[in-house]
Chain A
Amino acid sequence: MKQSRRDFLKTSAALSAASYLGVQLPDTVSSALAAEGDSWHRGTCRLCGVGCRVELGVRSGKPFAIRGVADARTNYGFLCMKGMYFWHCIGHTDRLTHPLYRAKKSEAFKQISWDEALDIAATAFADVVKTHGSDAVAYYGSGQCLTEETYLFQKIMRGGLKTNNVEGNPRLCMASAVGGYLSSFGADEPIGGYSDLEKAHCFFIIGSNTAEAHPVLFRRIMRRKLDNPDTVKVINADPRVSQTSRIADKHLQFKPGSDLSLLNAMAKVIIDEKLYDTDFLANYAVFRQGAESTEVTFSEYVKFLEPYTPEAVAKICGGNISADDIREVARWFANSKGTVSLWCMGINQRIQGVWANNLINNLHILTGQLCKEGADSLSLTGQPNACGGVREAGGLCHILPGHRPVDNEKMRNQVEEAWGVPIGRIPAKPGRHTMDMFAAINSGAIRAIWVNCTSPAQSLPNCDLYIKGMEKDDCFIICTDIFPTRTTELANLILPAAFHFEKTGVYGCTERRSQITLKAVDAPGEAKPEVWIVREWAKRLAVKLDDPVIAHCVKDFDNLEEDYALPRAIWDEYTQKLTAGRDSDLRGASYPVLERMADGVQWPALTEEQALTGGTVKKFVKGLDPLADSLSQNDLPYQFYGPAHADRKLWVWLRAQADPSEVPDAEYPFYLSTGRIIDHWHTMSMTGRVPELLRANPYAHVEINPEDAKELGVQPGDMVEIRSRRGSNLLPAKIYEGPMKGMVFAYWHDQEKSRMINRVTKDDYDPGSKEPEFKICAVQIRRVAGPKPIKPFLL
């Protein structure tokens, strides 16, 4: 049945109101609710990093509905449409259900048994290790894998195969936030969390379309604003007016890439008008600059800010920003009883991503808008387990489990001891980061890669360049996934994985909160949980490489059934041995505790007793954070014990404006930015298979500012070519006062080749975080034809 966009919005509206009350609507599930034999299974949403609590309804072994739960601390029963519908992926007819193999990429896939598949996977990796060395193999995972999966994969790669070539797609979205937190606060991940939203008096949302990318958190912000229209201020800073802007008291529309100036100008107003918190700065902060983190004085910082006058910066920012706007928002930020900043890919996906993060954090340090109720510098996470799995459990090439840097010998030795592998087994050199990893496939330096639950052939910037390498037969590609993707197209071996609620494991969301989802239904066909796949693969690898250390890496997990006992044993090893004594201490959050705690546990939680209170709502605050008490060195209420700052101080950084990697010129006169739309998620392999979501937005389009459209002679629906120095797309135009003049915006979800916007984006990356600059590149725009019928496309 055809559903118009308007019908869809009405259904969305009704479902959102219903889920707020925990009520099912008659046309979805209410008749089913009363039926005998229904059971409801608690877990988290499978999609974004908000981590909404859901309940999956199951009848006769099959899911039939999902619902929010009104008392859930993450979402209060509210779910977005994606969250409402993701369960349709369970049992979907397109699911991968059997291992598939082909020796050459020009051949067709053949169905094979698990026995054959695991043997082929082990032989492929073992042969490459023997011929080309350990660093010729790689693992590329995802912020959607369960923590147990990421942890076990990286253990086999580092402790077993002796390589740090362990990466994950959070490099593409979160790495700059990691760099920002470590260099500003000395510790990764936010100090506070969502509970600050209901206590905040000012929201500073920059580089985030929260309304579409994190809709449930947006609802909490919106509620706070609507309940307190006069006393709560919302500032939205973004080159594009989006759904998020609609609740803003002020929208600052700045030219792409000028945000460093804007943030420095806000800091200058705070200094010039003496809005900073003198005591907070004296007690907790120092000022630093440069690659050596050289300490400088407050006066030097003041001098550094001199050029960033509101008048000068208003000119740099262009758009609708006046000097008085900058002054006004700086005052709101500094003077409010509690300010929460929220940002996402607009800040992170930049070649100055870490610097931009630092400058947001600067504003919080200067004004003391940290550690108190309603105040936080809160980086929004894109994926459900980018934090819990990849950042915390060792899923990046330079980080071992428990936030340990690879290049620190003491830290490596701690991990080696915990695993019982020989000291020196983990290489001292960090592995290849994501862009380097795929460049190494192009150059032939990486000969075998395991891609788990992600689709780099669509999600890498400038993807055509990297597809060329992946297409070649000299790199053996294994993919574990639930649906065909642009990357499984390039694989030699496809292994069907169990989906959310078809296996057991833990997700850790944006606010340091770990929540368990237990298996509720069987996976289709022969699909298996990844933890089983890795264990069985490792056992064969040990034989093929004749290496007992690899066998030792999975010895404690042998013979455990894969639905509960195996992930529990892996979680126990990770939390008890690898988080002990670290800032992300999760020893108290055992499986039984997580099963009891409906909302999960926020780390640090050193003991079960602490975990059973919910863990730590605010890090670094004595009386709230057990580590702030036990590691206290003075009488001050806040103790910044983060592992990266030996001086236990917050660092205010001197970071100057710097241009993006590519700016428009005469040949490529427009900025291109990319992002999400509310109905879809990432490469659309899941949401594209939900008819209700697909109908709402069946294909990508390009948003063009009306003034530009007029100059270009583009009408709504016209087919428009977007061309960069790397590639082109052909998209229907949406004429919309969203992007500022001189800028266009496209969604990155579409799998159809002529609409895959990452063929156009640029692959330069931040030198610190190695996160690419998806958000800014220069393009030409050209009307090619009038409106054409377009079909949605899915592999």
Chain B
Amino acid sequence: MPVAGAVISTRQERAEILLAALRACPGVDIYGEDGKGNIIAVLEAASKDEMEALVRRLEAMDEVLHVGITFLAADGNSTDTGSE
């Protein structure tokens, strides 16, 4: 299950519209934005291929100028999930 951190960029004046669209996207969590059209998002998908497909879908959205991945991790197996 890959997890990615992303900066999704749009024009400053279109940020609100894009934020609303992204909130409706499965696998996308919004964590914040910088007021200049850059949105901080976390992406989750079931596989590497689905993650690529999700990024491609985001890139294809009308308001999106660029999807910049800043972090990408595959989940470890279930035996080391930090149980105390």
Partner-B contacts on A (CB < 8 A) = 2-6, 8-10, 12-23, 25-26, 30, 78, 219, 222-223, 226, 243, 246, 695-698, 701, 716-717, 732-736, 787, 789, 791-792
| Residue in contact with B70 in the complex, picked from A3, A16, A717, A791, CB distance below 8 Å | A16
Most chain B CB inside 10 Å of its own CB: which residue of A3, A23, A698: A23
| Residue pair B34, A6 in contact (C-beta under 8 Å) | no
Complex contact A243–B7 (CB within 8 A): no
Contacts of A15 in B (CB 8 A): 5
Report the interface size for chain B: residues with CB under 8 A from the other chain: 35
Contact B32 A5 (CB under 8 A): no
* A interface secondary structure, majority: helix
Q: When the two chains form their complex, are residues A25 and B82 in contact, meaning their CB atoms are under 8 A apart?
A: no
Binary contact track B24-61/A, C-beta < 8 Å → 1, others 0: 00000101111000101111100010000000000000
B71, B81, B83, B84: the one within 8 Å of A16 (CB): B71
**B32→A23 contact, CB < 8 A:** yes
Residue ID in chain A nearest B76 by CB atoms: A5
Tell me which residues across on chain B come within 8 A of A8, comparing CB atoms. 82
> At the interface, yes or no: B4 with Cβ under 8 Å from chain A?
yes
A13 touches B5 (CB 8 A): yes
A717 CA / B78 CA spacing, docked (Å):
9
Q: Which 7 A-B pairs have the closest CB atoms?
A: A13-B5, A16-B71, A717-B79, A17-B5, A14-B31, A16-B5, A9-B3
**Contact indicator A13/B84 (Cβ below 8 Å):** no
Shortest B73–chain A CB gap in Å is 5
A17 contacts which chain B residues (CB < 8 A)?
5-7, 31, 40-42, 68, 70-71
Complex contacts, A735 vs chain B, CB 8 Å: 77
A732-B7 contact in complex given A18-B32, A23-B34, A246-B74, C-beta closer than 8 Å:
no
CB distance from B8 to the nearest CB of A (A): 9
Closest to B3 in A: A9
A25 to B32, Cβ gap below 8 A?
yes
Judge whether B77 and A734 touch: CB under 8 Å: yes
Q: Point out the residues of chain A lying under 8 angstroms from B73, CB to CB.
A: 9, 12-13, 243
Contact of A736 among B31, B77, B83 (CB under 8 A): B77
- Once the chains are docked, how many angstroms separate the CA of A257 from the CA of B16? 55
Q: A18-B40, A21-B38 are in contact. Are A732 and B82 (CB under 8 A)?
A: no
The minimal Cβ–Cβ distance linking B71 to chain A, given in whole angstroms, is 4
Whether A13 contacts B4 by the Cβ 8 Å rule is yes
Q: Does B72 contact A (CB under 8 A)?
A: yes
Q: Which residues of B contact A695 (CB under 8 A)?
A: 82, 84
A11 — nearest CB in chain B belongs to which residue? B42
Docked CA distance A717–B77 (Å): 10
User: Cα distance A132–B74 when bound, in Å?
Assistant: 56
Complex CA distance for A18 and B74, rounded to whole angstroms = 20
The residues of A that contact B71 with a CB separation of less than 8 Å are 12-13, 16-17, 219
Chain B residues closer than 8 Å to A733, beta-carbon distance: 79
Set of chain B residues within 8 Å of A697, measured between Cβ atoms: 80, 82
Cβ B75 vs Cβ A21 within 8 A: no
> Contact: B69 with A226, CB < 8 Å?
yes
Separation of A2 and B84 alpha carbons in the complex (Å): 8
B21 within 8 A of A: no
- Given that A15-B5, A21-B7 are known contacts, is A10 also in contact with B79, CB under 8 Å in the complex? no
> Are B1 and A6 in contact (CB-based, < 8 A)?
yes
Whether the Cβ atoms of A12 and B5 lie closer than 8 Å is yes
Sample of 11 further A-B pairs with CB below 8 A, known A5-B82, A9-B73, A13-B73: A2-B84, A5-B75, A13-B71, A17-B5, A17-B68, A19-B70, A21-B7, A30-B32, A219-B70, A243-B74, A736-B77
Q: 17 interchain pairs (CB within 8 A)?
A: A2-B84, A5-B81, A6-B1, A6-B75, A13-B6, A16-B71, A18-B31, A18-B32, A20-B7, A23-B33, A25-B31, A695-B82, A697-B80, A697-B82, A734-B77, A736-B76, A789-B83
Knowing A10-B44, A17-B41, A246-B74 are in contact, say whether A698-B84 is a contact too (CB < 8 A): yes
Chain A residues in 8 Å Cβ range of B38: 21, 23
Which of B48, B72, B78 neighbours the largest number of chain A CB atoms within 10 Å of its CB? B72
A695–B81 Cα distance when bound, in Å, is: 8
Residues in A whose Cβ lies below 8 Å from that of B81: 4-6
> Which chain A residue has the least Cβ–Cβ distance from B48?
A246
Give the Cβ gap from B29 to chain A, nearest Cβ, in Å. Answer: 7
A20 to B40, CA, bound (A): 9
